[in-house]
Amino acid sequence: MLYCLVLIIMGGCAGSGMAGSSYDWHEYKQSYSTMQSVVQKAVKERALKINTVRETEAGQEFHVIFSQNTTIDNQDVQKEQGEMILQKVTEGTSRVRIENPEYHFSIPDHERVDYRRILFPQIDKLLKQKN
Confidence of residue 80 (pLDDT cuts 50, 70, 90): confident
Torsion of CA 118, 84, 67, 45, to 10 degrees: -50
Q: What share of the chain is helix, strand, coil (3-state, %, to 5)?
A: 40, 35, 25
DSSP state of 26: E
Q: Let me know if residue 96 belongs to a domain.
A: yes
Q: What is the mean pLDDT of residues 66-94?
A: 87
CA 82 to chain centre: 6
Query: What domain count does the chain have?
Result: 1
CATH code, 38? 3.30.310.80
Give the structural domain span for 34.
Answer: 22-101+111-130
Please write the tens of the pLDDT for every residue from 9-37: 444 444 333 444 456 899 999 999 999 99
pTM recorded for the entire structure: 0.76
Report the phi/psi class of residue 17: left, alpha or beta, with left for phi > 0 and alpha for psi in -120 to 50. left
